Each structure stands twice: as C-alpha cells, then as structure tokens.
Structure 1
Amino acid sequence: MRTIHDPFSGLAVFLAVAESGGFTPASAHLGVSPAAISQAVKALEAKLGVALFVRTTRHVRLTEAGTALLSRVKSAATDIAEAVDAAGSAQDEPSGFLRLTVPRMAVPLFVDAVVPALRREHPKIRIEIAVEDAAVDLLGRGFDAGVRIGEYVELDMIGVRLTRDIMWSVVGSPSYLATHGLPQSPEDLAAHENIRYRFPTSGAIYRWEFERNGRSLSVDPPGSLVVNDGALLVSLAASGLGLSYVADIAVETELRAGLLVGVLQPYLPTTPGLFLYFPRRAQNQPKLRALIDIARKVCRV
C-alpha cells in the first residue's frame, strides 16, 4: 500500500510554538505534552532538512528558515481555519475556537459581561482571551477578533460599537489634590507629579491630549512614575501617587466612590468608544456571529 504524503504534518505544532514563543505554552494551547511538541517539531525539521527554532534553556526563537516558513504558512493557515469553520456553518450550534485580544480597560466592560453570556448561550464555543494594551496584528497573531478604542481600529477591519464615546480624564486622589492643589490649566501640570504611560509596542511615552478654543493641545507632563498598563494608571492615582490621564469609562467606579476626582474637565477631548473589530472576510463565521449578537445584546449601545 502506498504511503499517503501529508504536507500539513507538523505545521499546526510549528505555528503554535512560533506564536506562543515556547514549547510549554504551545503544549498548553494544543492540549498535549511538551515532549510531544518537541518530537513533532524535530520530525518537521528532519522532513524539511533545516532547523526551524533555536533552543536555549530560557528561550525558543525562530531561525531564519523558521521565520520564512512562518511568513508563508500563517496566512494560509488562517484561510484553512476559516474554510473549515465555514464548512460547519450549517450546523445548528456555533462551535470552534475563538481567540480574542482585549485591552485591560475592557475587561470589566466586555469580558466580565459579554463572555459569560456567550458561554451560557453557546457552550460549544471554546474561548481564549489575551489581555494586552499593545497594538495587535489580528491575522499575524491568529486572533479572530479584538476590542480596542475606535481610533486604533485598522481601517480594513469591521467594527461593532460596544460603548458610548470616551471622554478622557485627568484624575487624582482627594489626598493628593488636598496636598498639591487642583491644576487650573494643562500648563499647571508642570508643577504636579504625573503618572505617565509608555506604549508597549513602540516604547513611546503617551502625550496627554487637550483642547482649547477648538484647537488640540498636546502636553508631555513631568513625572517619576511610568507604566505600560492602564489598570496601574488608575490604581496608582487612587493611591495618591500623582495624576493620571485615563478614559472616563475606566474610572467610573472610582469616581462614584470618591476614590478619584476629575480635574481639567473643560480641556478634555472626546474620542470614539470601544469597538469589537474583526477581518471583513471572517464576519460570517458562526462563532463570530454569535459573539457579535451577544455583544450587541449585552452592551446595548
């Protein structure tokens, strides 16, 4: 009997290791042992005659050949996965694996509200959620959909509104403001301790945006605390360590409880709110349609 040649053998494991950055996280993602992952990668490397990964005791990284292979097969793998999902679209109950990327501010607004409802109504859908504030290449990272502030959603994506527009806020604790006083204009921030945000991807420090007489004003305030996590901007400000520039929807609870106080409101801009976004060609997948329907029902924007 002639042996059947399978050109896809080992590619799923290769993609899992390349995307997760290691054998252990890949094994958790695929539900097999790290030893099985290692064995599958070695078999693929032997079949291709090249090393795909450089392995050390601490890190696993792609070789030049591995990088080239990833760039060729990633988009094809996405197409295949979408084709398989489409083939099952006639079934009554949506199913499959749904990978989502969500910024930290959207956890209480989206994850805590939408995901439980989705699980209750469609238990056959398996969900993985990556919480990260950095900009994300959905297709390149293998995500089905993401949640981001509207102005950061790529133009070639479809967006579904989840929240009202966002008003940006400068907030501080009552104790901090009692000690240092309330700034009356953006220029007054130069005399305050400001908690600044560094973009995880670019490494740039975020400049605080204001409006005056219909014109935009960008300020880079001084501060000895820099973070790359939105939740820390809120918690550190609530601890009295300085002023933070945050979205109002991220501090509603703290403002109501009196843990934080908003300042400089006349100068603060409004921007599009949070959106669920996804590639146009993926919108008819049953698992994604189920997520969209639940999100619209729960968020009611």
Structure 2
Amino acid sequence: MLSPRKTPFEYIKQSVENEGYLPTELIARLPKHWRRIGTVGIIELHTSLWPWKEKIGQNYLSGISELSTIMQKVGVTTTTIRTPGYEVLAGNPDTVTLHKELGCKFWIDALRLTFSTGNHAERQRLIKITTEGEQIIDMFACVGNLSVPISVHHPTVEVKGVEINSYAYSFLEKNIQVNHLKERYQPIFGDNQTHTPINWADRVLMGYFELTPRQLEVALQALKQDQGGIVHTHGLTTARQPFNWRQTIEKLILEKFPYFQLKDTKQRVIKSIAPGVHHFVDDIHIIRKN
C-alpha cells in the first residue's frame, strides 16, 4: 500500500531533520504557513531560528513548488513610499515577479514594493461594491494593488491612480498595459497632496496606514461637490484603542466643506497584523447637504 503523499511543510520539516543542523527543540518553531507573491515565497521566522535562516530558506525553496526565491519578514513597511521589511534568504536575488490574482496580472518587485496577499478579500469586496460608470481615485496606487482589479472587472469605470514612488509608478504603468487598461486607467506621478484631481471622484481609495488630516482634506476635495461619495481609509487598531477618522472628517466638513455632510461610517477588519492588532478599513459615506 502506498504511503500518503507528504505535504510541502512535512517535506520541509523532514529535510531539516535529515540535515541535522537545527537543534531538535527548535523544529517545532518552523513556520507552517507562508505567503506567495508570484514566484517569491515569504516566511516569518522566530528570532531563535535566525542563526540558520539561510539554510532554512533553502529547505523551503526546495519544498515549495514553482518558487524561485524565499524571503523572510524582518520588519514593518516604512515611509510614505511603503518599503516592506524583507530580506532574501535563498534562491534568485532578482525579486521582480508576475503575480496573478482575481483575473489580474501584477508585475512587482516583491522585495522593494508592498503587495499584501492578505488584502485579497478587500480587493474582492471593492470589485463587488463598485458600480459601473463610477469615477475612482486611488491616492496611494503603488502598483495598482487595490484599483487595478476594479478597473479590470468594471470596463465602464474610470480610474486615476496617484503614486509618489517612481519605482512603484513604473510597475503601475506596466500593469495598466498588461491588463489592457490604458483607455480607462490614468496613472498620475506625484504627491497626492498636490496631484489628486479635484471635484471628480465618486469613490476615493486611501490604502495607507499613516494618513494625515491634510490627506483626508484632499480626499474630500476629490469627491464630486454636487453629490459627495465614499472615501475608504485604512489604518491599524486594537480592541483597547479602537480608531476611526469620524471626528476628523466631521471637523473638516464643518470648517472647509459646508456643502457636505457625513452620512455614516462603517468599519471592517481586513486582517490581523500582530496579536491584538488589526488592519481595518473605514467606509466613509459623504453626501451633499440639502
């Protein structure tokens, strides 16, 4: 009788045990799950495993099919150009890859640019709630992470994506081309505080954790003055420190947008970032005041 086929993790664990370099008591700390962006695999190693990280990376590269590179997460995404905290452990040091998701193609440098596979459900949700004919501004477009899927699945929707990072912008242009979106997706290179169109959008995407009141003001300026629209803000929250932008939005409307009023806000958890810390999105519905 044939023995059951090993899972990739069982194969990796067996390989590490056979090679004998890792102390037995640390075997249980090998990560059972990993993320995948195109042909790049991303693992998170406990710090106790770091002395053997390159060897462990090689075992994961051998054990997971169709991967060319293994990286590990060593820090958080930083700065306004959203540089992820990764390092290459094994395989090809060239981390430019083609990632396919939701019928879309994303060219991306997985080491140097952020693309969270954990946001898959949010990308699906945005596709579902968008209606044909909308005009959408993505103020933090990166490579089109949130807005390219909307454009692919809604041929009558117009999108303008603003990106400040020249390296990310080059991939955004490429992704617009490979997904055949040139007629309905306009990339805009520059700072969203100065380059975001005014009085144009039905929906504004703000996929960035460290938003400022000034950027929220720009988002409200971007909405159509005669009807308002929806602004999607992202952030981090904990059970002890719940957070949303409601008070800031209300203050901005009172001081600078007397023709608007806040209809409602809805908060949704997208994923867990760390124990007790969650990535959330607020759907902020702004309407024209009667």
TM over 0.5: no
TM-score, normalised via structure 2 length? 0.25
- Please identify which structure carries the higher strand content: 2
Q: Of Structure 1 and Structure 2, which has the larger fraction of its residues in helix?
A: 1
**Higher relative CO (CA 8 A, sep ≥ 6), structure 1 or 2?**
1
TM-score by length of 1: 0.24
